Amino acid sequence: MNLLCVSLLVLVAVITGTLGCPSDFLGISSSCVKVVIAAGIGERPVSWKVAREGCKALGADLAVMNVSSKVEHISAHIDKVFPNEASYTFWVGGHKVNGQWKWVTDQTINLKSNLWVPNTPKKDDRISFALLVPADSLHGRRYLNENGEGGWAPGYICEI
Ligand SMILES: *[C@@H]1O[C@H](CO)[C@@H](O)[C@H](O)[C@H]1NC(C)=O
């Protein structure tokens, strides 16, 4: 490969933000994210634990959705790449451990942030897991919501 080709490839990688991410992951600021559709129409959705295992098998973990720009970026990506799955819910890396909401990185989840659907998560001690749910088309973004231990979702979002 000549120098021009190499330069062009690097340029394309920088422009698409994929530099440093595995090819099937999307580069978002300093992380690499992959949206996984675990269940198509008629297929079985998965639990949070199975979703997390799916991410681990990719050398990743469930994604930390702690910044609204990141949620917006991933929402736009889902709408563009998976238009037929735009109404899906996606597990992300938040869970309630001993009554405390934590990201899988062990960071505490800010419950006052406007990342959550209003009036969630509920104040009770049941085991819960975070998922990204679609909002109305006007606002065009997604929000965090919670689902219990028996809950399932057709998709999940991994992050390296
Ligand atoms: C979000 O999480 C990342 C690491 O996952 C951390 O570096 C960053 O400080 C966090 N931001 C906020 C606003 O919590």
- Looking up residue 95, the CATH number of its domain turns out to be 3.10.100.10
> Structurally, how many domains does the chain consist of?
1
Q: What is the pLDDT of residue 47?
A: 96
Question: For residue 110, which atom of ligand 1 is closest to its CA?
Answer: 14
Report if residue 12 sits inside a domain. Answer: no
Report if residue 89 sits inside a domain. Answer: yes
Q: 61 is in which domain, residue-wise?
A: 21-159
Kindly tell me if the per-residue pLDDT of 11 is higher than 60: no
Pocket around ligand 1 at a 6 A CB cut-off: 64, 66-67, 105, 107
Q: Ligand 1 mean position to 130 CA, how many Å?
A: 16
Q: Ligand 1 mean position to 136 CA, how many Å?
A: 26
Tell me the pLDDT tens digit for each residue of 15-66.
Answer: 554 468 999 999 987 899 999 999 877 788 999 999 999 999 999 999 999 9
Report if residue 16 sits inside a domain. Answer: no
Single pTM value for the model: 0.86
Q: What is the pLDDT of residue 89?
A: 95
Whole-angstrom distance, CA of residue 141 vs CA of residue 65: 13
Report if residue 108 sits inside a domain. Answer: yes
Report if residue 37 sits inside a domain. Answer: yes
Report if residue 50 sits inside a domain. Answer: yes
CB atoms within 10 A of CB 124: 9
Report if residue 151 sits inside a domain. Answer: yes
CB atoms within 10 A of CB 116: 19
Query: Which residue's alpha carbon is at the smallest distance from atom 2 of ligand 1?
Result: 66
Report if residue 11 sits inside a domain. Answer: no
Q: Measure Cα distances from 3 to 20, 23, 55, 85 in Å.
A: 20, 22, 36, 41
Q: What is the pLDDT of residue 31?
A: 92
Residue whose token pair is 């065009």: 140
Query: Which residue's alpha carbon is at the smallest distance from atom 14 of ligand 1?
Result: 66
Q: What is the pLDDT of residue 104?
A: 98
CB neighbour list of residue 35: distance below 8 Å, 6 or more residues apart = 26, 74, 77, 78, 81, 82, 90, 155, 157
Query: Which residue's alpha carbon is at the smallest distance from atom 12 of ligand 1?
Result: 66
